[in-house]
Structure 1
Amino acid sequence: MNAATSPTTLVVFDGQRLDIADVLALSRRQAQARLSESPEFRARIQRGADFLDRLLREDGVIYGVTTGYGDSCTVSIPADLVPQLPHHLYTYHGCGLGQFLSPEETRAVLATRLASLCQGVSGVSWALLAQLEQFLCHDLLPLIPAEGSVGASGDLTPLSYVAAALCGERDVWWKGERWAADEALRECGLVPLRLRPKEGLAIMNGTAVMTALACLAWQRAESVVRLATRLTACNVVASAGNAHHFDERLFAVKPHAGQQQVAQRIRDDLASSRPARNEQRLQDRYSLRCAPHVLGVLQDALPFLQQLIENELNSANDNPIIDGDSEQVLHGGHFYGGHIAFAMDSLKNAVANVADLMDRQLALLVDTRYNHGLPPNLSGARGARAAINHGLKALQISVSAWTAEALKLTMPASVFSRSTECHNQDKVSMGTIAARDALRVLTLTEQVLAGMLIAARQGLSLRQDMEPSLQLTPALQGFQAGLCKRVALVDEDRALDAELLSLVQAQQQGAWSGLYEEPNA
């Protein structure tokens, strides 16, 4: 079910398949969460809770319900203490550190956890689902430290902050301020939840944090590849490059669909009635000539990574699974985040390569040895003042720094599994760390792209000044006009940090996400 962008749009949670777009809409407050009113759905949830209650009455042994957690599963819990156990789980996991997740990330976490519990095999009560729904509706956002999860036995520590907030403990972010959770609940007309047996595990023992972050990362990566493609076309024009490098017949013989799609986008951006320019230079340098081959890797990876992320989003990923229909308790390891770890390790690698591509293109544009007649450092200064103006010299250094940091973070987190918790969790995914790394690589890459937006604005304008007869395609004309409104020509040296920040924020808010509206190949 695809959520539109209207604030009145509903994302209905009924155990049916959601997609990344639904999570994004909820994370941005462009849609409201709503539990299905279907009697069949509610009955399915109730069957699991009733089955669990009956097992407890019949002295059934259930991991994490009548036993301790993890390596402590051999410890039997006295019947009179069973109701207290879930609250101890989130209490002793209150050891997260690092920055808090952003409001957007936190909403995505709440939505992702609710989606998993709505699969109906976690043995939870309707009251728990309703409390999660109300947190999304009232925008009550648990303050979740980003660090402390190894991504198997799930995102235990960060999700403990969700469990605690649902029960009126710890702090939440509400109406732009930090509140004690119990006070914020009272202001919203809600009461703290008292967790039933298994509900502490059901909230915490899953992949909600890494999956939520992966949804946000995937969307940003899709925007990155689109914008980098358009910028490549701009840079080909600015550097008087050879448009024949993107010929359809050329790419027909190497049938990677994403690579072909990128080449077509660049080819369409460069198409004009004017004959190809500078045909005396047969081959441009790799960062221009091979741009479809670099960007095509990410373009081809996106559909596959989307499938991995959305399968995890629509999974029941706590332990044990409570099958109320067949009345079975199934002990397993669905909390393991290996697929998300792989997706995020792969994504950050492909995205960092985009940053590197853009960095190399900028290095060509600012260097008079390679930019085919453009002024040094793309400075717009003229006459005697050209001597004291340095154009984009420092920007190119910063872009190189951001690129280097992005490349440094491409070491896969998933290979750093550690044996934890008395060797019970002896193989872990590190999926949450991989997702956080991917988001950091994306931020750095978006900063590189912000620098490239300034360079494209500068390079195209300077080339047009040199060649007044140069005609841009309508797509590049519109893109250039938009850039000119956002960024003034750098003719006299000025600080660019405010403009760079504005351009990064514009990217993250989707300013260029609509480039190339055709569907992914």
Structure 2
Amino acid sequence: MTRSTSDLPTVLFDGSRLGLDDIAALSERRARAVLSREPAFIARIARGADFLDRLLKEDGVVYGVTTGYGDSCTVTIPPDLVAELPHHLYTYHGCGAGRFLTAEETRAVLAVRLASLAQGMSGVSVALLSQLEALLVNDVLPLIPAEGSVGASGDLTPLSYVAAVLCGERDVLYQGRTRPAGEVLAELGIAPLRLRPKEGLAIMNGTAVMTALACLAFRRADRVARLATRLTACNVVASSGNAHHFDETLFSVKPHAGQQRVAARLRADLDTGSAARASRNEQRLQDRYSLRCAPHVIGVLEDALPFFRSLIDNELNSANDNPIIDAEGERVLHGGHFYGGHIAFAMDGLKNAVANVADLLDRQMALLVDTRYNHGLPSNLSGATGPRAAINHGLKALQISVSAWTAEALKQTMPASVFSRSTECHNQDKVSMGTIAARDCLRVLDLTDQVLAAMLITARQGLALRRRADPSLAVPPALAAFEADLSDRVPLVVEDRALDRDLQALLAARDEAVWNPHA
């Protein structure tokens, strides 16, 4: 059965500003979508559709309504065929490939498209908005292939699967099963739409897929910055490092706000203000860069996040199809708001910053497992002692996997936006590649999450073995609580064991506190 959402907080779609956190909440079913029924909102939406109807009656020429699409804009559509044109648009764009978007990603796509059309500048009917709302409320999710968009004229091919489902065609995921859309809509008592002029274009000719993926990527990247900071603190303690590399005065002279926040979190985690920590004789004047410069690496991501949020939020709150219908001024404005350059730039930049954090953690792990650099910890952080130590290998293979995941993440950092293509008979001769950039970013985040899960195991192992080597060690309070949580989740690796189940269990716990320090 579909889970009831009646007791959840609501996200209101009335053309007012939404944030990427609203989209994330809808994608995870932590909130429910509500389309405004306020008379003023309904009237504003209706004015655009009514204006287009008047233009048609007066023989006005409107791109995508009385003309073909793209390079076919010079083709005049006979009046008796105008009503069929939107259905042809989503039909011939049904050529997507690759994996299907996940349930969370698909909900985000529906919500982002609804947010854009609710701006009232697309010439669509209230019925179309209500149908999108119905898909979200009933969790009827179009099966959307991830590949096939160049990011201008928007996400045409993936969004064609949304348009088709609104009309009762193609397949949906409903209650855990793939079923024909028409069958599910009939079961729910929802009549398939017959698209009005321009409605096919309004659904498809926009940036909803790339923006939806960007909303989800942003939240995951924010978590990466916070957890990487906590793991760095653990690794400083495990390697008996110098906690005063993160001194407040030191960071006051390099005034990057995000970098300073990372250093402040490290000071709090390492409790550098306590008398015990302040008086401790550090073993080394300077740690290696992956520890000493952690705020400088993580700080790049931390400083970039607010800027990227502003780009994503602005795109989310934009009318981004073409043409724009100005019903108040009675104008049809032909432009290029479907171009996803801002999302492409944000995702290309975000994946670079995230991959660099994965690389930082990979370097930290390489230090911890190596007896030349880990200052008295056992080789490969093995917990075995006595004669059995010879046959046990600790985290040796895990470090190899971390290196592999990091290398793949780094390989994905080539910016997608620089690979613009000329398509559609050179009508779309400069395109954003925003959707590819967003998918790349999510892949980098998947790989980085695997690195983070491995580093959680490493932190649990490293702190326990440092305490074994130094029984008098006082682990700072924040790290002690963190270590206790990890110890409940991951048994100490003494005898060699497969760690894949530990990794998967940790990855499944990404919504829990252990993944979200400094929240």
TM-score category (smaller protein):
over 0.9
Q: Deviations over 1:293-343 (max 9, x none)?
A: 000000000010000000000000000000111110000000000000000
The answer (yes or no) to whether the contact 1:7–1:29 under 8 Å persists in 2 is: no
1:291 deviates by 0.1
Question: SS of the counterpart of 1:506?
Answer: coil
Spell out the pairing of 1:246-265 with structure 2 (5 A cutoff).
246-265=246-265
Cross-structure match for 1:11:
11
Structure 2 residue identity aligned to 1:398 = S
Give the alignment partner of residue 470 of structure 2, picking from 457, 467, 476. Answer: 467
Cross-structure match for 2:339:
336
Cross-structure match for 2:113:
113
Say whether residues 1:50 and 2:53 are aligned partners.
Answer: no
Cross-structure match for 1:128:
128
Work out the CA distance in 2 between the residues paired with 1:91 and 1:250. 61
1:152 deviates by 0.5
Spell out the pairing of 1:370-381 with structure 2 (5 A cutoff).
370-381=373-384
Spell out the pairing of 1:15-164 with structure 2 (5 A cutoff).
15-164=15-164
The answer (yes or no) to whether the contact 1:391–1:491 under 8 Å persists in 2 is: yes
Work out the CA distance in 2 between the residues paired with 1:79 and 1:248. 71
1:279 deviates by 2.6
1:72 deviates by 0.1
Spell out the pairing of 1:194-273 with structure 2 (5 A cutoff).
194-271=194-271, 272-273=274-275
Structure 1, unpaired ranges of 5+:
none
Q: Deviations over 1:327-377 (max 9, x none)?
A: 100000000000000000000000000000000000000000000000000
Structure 2 residue identity aligned to 1:142 = P
Cross-structure match for 2:421:
418
The answer (yes or no) to whether the contact 2:150–2:431 under 8 Å persists in 1 is: yes
Structure 2 residue identity aligned to 1:285 = R
Which has the higher mean CA deviation after the structures are superposed, 22-31 or 266-275?
266-275
1:6 deviates by 9.4
Say whether residues 1:477 and 2:480 are aligned partners.
Answer: yes
Question: SS of the counterpart of 2:34?
Answer: strand
Work out the CA distance in 2 between the residues paired with 1:252 and 1:442. 31
1:7 deviates by 5.0
Work out the CA distance in 2 between the residues paired with 1:83 and 1:189. 24
The answer (yes or no) to whether the contact 1:240–1:278 under 8 Å persists in 2 is: no
Question: SS of the counterpart of 1:169?
Answer: coil
Give the alignment partner of residue 492 of structure 1, picking from 484, 495, 504. Answer: 495
Question: How does the TM-score come out when normalised to structure 1?
Answer: 0.97
1:175 deviates by 0.3
Give the alignment partner of residue 292 of structure 1, picking from 265, 271, 295. Answer: 295
1:100 deviates by 0.1
Spell out the pairing of 1:379-390 with structure 2 (5 A cutoff).
379-390=382-393
Work out the CA distance in 2 between the residues paired with 1:459 and 1:356. 19
The answer (yes or no) to whether the contact 2:485–2:514 under 8 Å persists in 1 is: no
Work out the CA distance in 1 between the residues paired with 2:275 and 2:101. 50
Give the alignment partner of residue 432 of structure 1, picking from 422, 431, 435. Answer: 435
The answer (yes or no) to whether the contact 1:341–1:429 under 8 Å persists in 2 is: yes
Q: Deviations over 1:458-493 (max 9, x none)?
A: 000011111122112221111001100110000000
Say whether residues 1:391 and 2:397 are aligned partners.
Answer: no
Give the alignment partner of residue 518 of structure 2, picking from 494, 516, 519. Answer: 516
1:502 deviates by 1.6
Q: CA 1:343–1:489 in structure 2 vs 1: closer, same or farther (change >3 Å)?
A: same
Work out the CA distance in 2 between the residues paired with 1:148 and 1:7. 38
1:280 deviates by 4.4
Structure 2, unpaired ranges of 5+:
none
What is the root-mean-square deviation of aligned Cα atoms in Å?
1.1
Give the alignment partner of residue 319 of structure 1, picking from 322, 325, 332. Answer: 322
Q: CA 1:280–1:447 in structure 2 vs 1: closer, same or farther (change >3 Å)?
A: closer
Question: How does the TM-score come out when normalised to structure 2?
Answer: 0.97
Structure 1 residue identity aligned to 2:449 = E
Question: SS of the counterpart of 1:384?
Answer: helix
Work out the CA distance in 1 between the residues paired with 2:425 and 2:131. 34
Amino-acid identity (%): 76
Structure 2 residue identity aligned to 1:425 = Q
Work out the CA distance in 1 between the residues paired with 2:255 and 2:305. 17
Q: CA 1:166–1:511 in structure 2 vs 1: closer, same or farther (change >3 Å)?
A: farther
Q: CA 1:24–1:513 in structure 2 vs 1: closer, same or farther (change >3 Å)?
A: farther
Q: Deviations over 1:197-220 (max 9, x none)?
A: 000000000000000000000000
Work out the CA distance in 2 between the residues paired with 1:6 and 1:489. 43
Work out the CA distance in 2 between the residues paired with 1:318 and 1:324. 15
1:436 deviates by 0.1
Q: Deviations over 1:165-218 (max 9, x none)?
A: 000000000000001000010111101110000000000000000000000000
1:239 deviates by 0.1
Q: CA 1:24–1:460 in structure 2 vs 1: closer, same or farther (change >3 Å)?
A: same
Question: SS of the counterpart of 1:146?
Answer: strand
